[in-house]
């Protein structure tokens, strides 16, 4: 999935170059507004073992305070990675949560930016009681985006780090809560995937 255009060379020696306020303003003006596209995520199809990726329609906006907002961030993207069946069922019944991520621009051509997502909260009914499930993400080089001004290709990656119940952050309900090669990104893109 990383081959969708978010290449490993995104974070090279140019990333340490300080952008001017004018550079940041140009980057922001290029990506601000409302967008829609597809979300790609790991989801094993029980009927087809080779089918490991699913897609959902998604909409997001870049707001005036240099923030990405996804008002309905679907919990479907992590259901396949939850080990507790009661939690999986509870979360599957919840309304989508709201994802908010701050943007930090580091490159102008193509526009490159890091994403600093806040936790997404879901109101759930788990084991007979009301709770909040909180999805948190990896930051730094794991959640980032790119926008190509010439092709208008907008891509973002979020990497789920853990799913916690209420304020208890000592136990994650996600399979493999540590970052390693088995961690699968959540990709958001406006590129036509049917080409």
Beta bridge partners of 59: 36
pLDDT digits (tens, 9 = 90+) for 23-35: 999 999 999 999 9
Quickly state the pLDDT bin for 9 (edges 50, 70, 90): very low
- Quick check: 4 pLDDT over 50? no
The pTM score is 0.81
pLDDT digits (tens, 9 = 90+) for 126-162: 999 999 999 999 887 789 999 999 999 999 999 888 8
Closest CA to 76 of 91, 62, 90: 91
- Quick check: 14 pLDDT over 80? no
């Amino acid at each position: 999935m990383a081959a969708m255009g978010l290449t490993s060379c995104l974070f090279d020696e140019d990333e340490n170059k300080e952008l001017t306020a004018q550079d940041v303003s140009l980057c922001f003006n290029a990506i601000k507004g409302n967008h829609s596209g597809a979300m790609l995520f790991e989801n094993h199809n029980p009927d087809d073992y080779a089918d490991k990726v699913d897609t959902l329609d998604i909409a997001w906006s870049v707001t005036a305070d240099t923030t990405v907002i996804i008002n309905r961030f679907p919990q479907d993207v992590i259901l396949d990675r939850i080990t507790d069946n009661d939690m999986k069922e509870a979360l599957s019944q919840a309304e989508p949560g709201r994802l908010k991520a701050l943007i930090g621009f580091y490159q102008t051509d193509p526009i490159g930016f890091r994403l600093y997502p806040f936790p997404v909260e879901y109101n759930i009914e788990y084991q007979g009681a009301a709770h909040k499930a909180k999805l948190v993400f990896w930051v730094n080089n794991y959640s980032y985006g790119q926008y190509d001004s010439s092709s208008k290709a907008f891509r973002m990656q979020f990497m789920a780090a853990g799913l916690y119940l209420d304020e208890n952050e000592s136990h994650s309900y996600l399979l493999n809560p540590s970052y390693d090669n088995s961690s699968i990104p959540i990709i958001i893109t406006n590129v036509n995937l049917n080409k």
